[in-house]
Structure 1
Amino acid sequence: MEFYPGYLEDHFNIHKLSGTGGASPPEYMTSAAATQYAPAPLRMAMYERAPQQQQHHHHHHHQQQQQPQLQPALGMWSSEPYKVDSGGQATSGSSIMEPDAKFDHAGLDDDPHMDELETAGDADQGASKPKEKVMRRLAQNREAARKSRLRKKAYIQQLESSRIKLAQLEQELQRTRQQQGMYGGSNPGASLQRHHGGGSAGHFGFAAAGQMMMDPGVAEFEIEYGHWVDEQKRHTEELRSALQPGQATSELELEVMVQTGLANYDRLFRIKGAAAQADVFCVMSGLWRSPAERFFLWIGGFRPSEVLKILSPQLEPMTDPQSVAVYALQLTSAQAEDALSQGMQKLQQTLAESLTDPFAAPDAYMVGAVEKLKGLVGFVQQADHLRLETLQNMHRILTTRQAAKGLLVLGDYFQRLRALSTLWAARPRESAIS
């Protein structure tokens, strides 16, 4: 709907002439004018929509004329007590203003600037709160970084220890080859060939041309035994230093040393049992020991009763109950040794009979002989168990200081046997011609 430019002024003058009262439009107004005599908010809406409905050059002209006139009309009409709507009913000014107020409030709700203000307020409120989540995340990151550094450090240490162990294994392998060259010639398997019958190794299914390959389990045991010897030397020196007359070593420290020494012997017997599973002949013959040690060999090791005879004089003074207990232990060990020795003799006799049985089927005697040889592993394990049990019983009988001294004497005894073997191998040879 379009209005002529002087519409507002004309109606304003007519309203002034009509006075303050009258619920109906003036008599000289036409029906069209009465229809236009509507509530102020509706007319204001019409005035606001009018500029949008103008065409071309009338649009800006009408908008400039209508904008200054809206405020006076709104202030005047909102103060009137009654107006007449298009239906001819009287309406109060306050009720007429309600749609405009609701309309204005709805407009504020849709205003994008209000959303920006609310967002900024929420951001300020969030910034004012304690940043617990951020601090917790930072703490977690620091903890993860610390654990990562620890894992990296442990990995580097593991690599370094592996490198050192590899170097030690290479040294032990070189030393083993040198020892085999000293005792059995340049061939690494020469000593084993002598044990298995010299050049007749082919009868046992080993490599041809008189060569015999060393079992990997036996080679590993020889390296482990070299480490054990070094550990025993170190432990023996610790005991020697702790038992010096001027050294104030407590009983607790000596007890720890004694337990360490017993654990070392236990470890030796365990790795020797694993080597016996690989090659029981090598273990029983003592090829991994020095020649002087093999001279006193009994089922792959020392005789417990003989060790007690060596240790007893070195442990004086002992009380009478201790002397009686040590003597009884010596007798018990000797009886167990005799039982194992008789079992070994019985096994040898049975093995010889199975090999010479004239009624056995071809190759059947060999199968039976191999089965009987498996019993040798059990004898080695029982002999090592007797050795360890004897050492533990001596520890129970003696005091802590006496037990430490006994382990020191035993360690020196084996070291002197190995030194004797070295001297024997390095002795000057006389010419066979002279």
Structure 2
Amino acid sequence: MKTPERTHSQIFHQFFDHWLVELGTSLEQLVSAANNHHNKSNDDSNLRQLIYESVKHYEEYYKAKADGAKGDVMAMFRPPWLTSLEDAFLWIAGWRPTTAIHLLYSKSGLQLEARLDESVPVLLTTGDLGDLSLNQINRVDELQKKTIRAERAITEKMASLQESAADTCMVDLSSTASEILRKNNDGDGEIEESVRTLNSLLESKEDKLEEVLHMADGLRMETLKSVVEILTPLQAVHFLIAAADQQ
């Protein structure tokens, strides 16, 4: 008996499961590095290597996602590998880029609060996200404004594409319905033809849908890298730990 071919969605789903396992391994390494860090140049070198590998891991995810979208872009917009909660907060087939910045601020506040609860003097730096400098905060603020503008542009492009597809479909349905009434028959053939036409119209939109997906994923990756670049190696490790915990 011939084994049925796997769909692009199934292939990506399998990749995603494997990717999550590797993410767990990366998370363990990051946590270990953060807990055992010493203020030495060789330690920073080790941290930078872990950061590089962690960021590369996310890049591999988006490359695989782009490959999957070429075969079935609609599957990327209704991912069966996400939980119901994740699906509810989905923004163009993924997490909203500004979420990375919100996560940074949240983790920074939590680490600073933990230091105060432990009666650690505020002036005593620990090198984690509770030690963001004024310059770093200003850079993150500028990044947030830039990212919000980019998000809005992509959201508007997506909305325009959805409206275009909906308008085209409604015109076609209206035309078919009128033809059925004019001929005064049951319209089964016309309805079937209408469904085929609608499917064809939707397929014609897939290239543009794939383009919007690439824009959204590109912004997600760009925002992640920009946050990491603003931070010190140890801070970046703490941020990547928080990011991995969200998966």
When normalised by structure 2's length, the TM-score is 0.75
Q: Which residue of 2 aligns with 1:228?
A: 19
* CA distance, structure 2, for counterparts of residue 231 and residue 263 of structure 1: 12
In structure 2, relative to structure 1, the CA distance for the partners of 1:294 and 1:309 (3 Å cut) is same
* Greater helix proportion: 2
Change in CA separation of 1:337 and 1:215 when aligned onto 2, cut-off 3 Å: farther
TM-aligned CA distance change 1:290 to 1:258, over 3 Å: same
Tell me by how many angstroms 1:254 deviates: 0.1
1:336 and 2:179 are equivalent in the alignment? no
Give the superposition deviation at 1:391.
1.1
**In 1, Cα distance between the equivalents of 2:147 and 2:100?**
10
Cα distance, 1:365 vs. partner?
A: 5.4
8 Å contact from structure 1 (residues 215, 279) kept in 2: no
What per-residue deviation string (whole Å, max 9, x for no partner) do you get for residues 156-176 of structure 1? xxxxxxxxxxxxxxxxxxxxx
> 1:379 matched to which residue of 2?
212
Compute the displacement of 1:313 (Å).
3.3
Deviation at 1:366, TM superposition (A): 4.7
**Contact 1:276–1:283 under 8 Å retained in 2:** yes
Q: Match for 2:159 among 345, 363, 368?
A: 345
1:148 maps to none
Measure, in 1, the Cα distance between the counterparts of 2:10 and 2:198: 30
Equivalent residue for 2:28? Answer: 237
- 8 Å CA contact 1:355–1:366 kept in 2: the answer is no
| Shift in Å, 1:247 | 4.2
Does structure 2 conserve the Cα–Cα contact (< 8 Å) formed by 1:354 and 1:369? no
Aligned twin of 1:367: 200
Q: State the alpha-carbon separation in 2 of the partners of residues 382 and 282 from structure 1.
A: 17
**TM-score, with length taken from structure 1:** 0.44
Q: Secondary structure at the match of 2:91?
A: coil
Distance 1:243 1:366 in 2: 52
- Matched with 1:263 is 56
Whether the 8 Å CA contact 1:297–1:303 is kept in 2: the answer is yes
Please tell me the residue identity of whatever aligns with 1:282.
A
CA distance in 2, matches of 1:214, 1:309: 42
For residues 9 and 198 of structure 2, the distance between their equivalents in structure 1, rounded to whole angstroms, comes to 27
Q: Deviations over 1:49-99 (max 9, x none)?
A: xxxxxxxxxxxxxxxxxxxxxxxxxxxxxxxxxxxxxxxxxxxxxxxxxxx
Is residue 299 of structure 1 aligned with residue 92 of structure 2? yes
Specify the code of the residue in structure 1 equivalent to 2:20: V
Whether the 8 Å contact between 2:37 and 2:43 is mirrored in structure 1 is no
Note the residue ranges of structure 1 that are not aligned, 5 or more in a row: 1-212, 415-434
Deviations along 1:289-342, one digit per CA (max 9) or x if unpaired, are: 222221221111111102211122322221111101111111111111111111
Q: Distance in 2 between matches of 1:219 and 1:291?
A: 19
- 1:279 match: secondary structure: helix
Contact kept in structure 1, 2:100 and 2:223, CA below 8 Å: no
Higher relative contact order (CA 8 A, sep 6+): 2
CA contact (8 A) 1:280 1:376 kept: yes
Identify if the C-alpha distance between structure 1 residues 239 and 372 changes in structure 2 by more than 3 Å, giving closer, same or farther: same
Structure showing greater radius of gyration is 1
Shift of 1:378: 1.1
After superposition, the CA RMSD in angstroms is: 2.1
* Paired residue type of 1:327: D
CA deviation vs aligned residue, 1:245-291 (integer Å, no higher than 9, x gap): x5437000000000001000000001111111222222112222222
One-letter code aligned to 1:381: H
- The answer to whether structure 1 residue 408 and structure 2 residue 244 are counterparts is no
- Which residue identity does 2:209 align to in structure 1? L
- Aligned ranges for residues 10-159 of structure 1 at < 5 Å? none
Q: CA deviation at 1:373?
A: 2.9
The equivalent residue for 1:82 is none
Matched residue, 1:316: 130
Partner of 1:217: 8
Q: 2 CA distance for matches of 1:214 and 1:292? A: 30
**Aligned residue in 2 for 1:133:** none
Q: What does residue 71 of structure 2 align with? A: 278
Q: Judging changes above 3 Å, is the alpha-carbon distance between structure 1 residues 214 and 331 closer, same or farther for their aligned structure 2 residues?
A: farther
Unaligned ranges ≥5, structure 2: 108-128, 180-192
Distance 2:5 2:76 in 1: 13
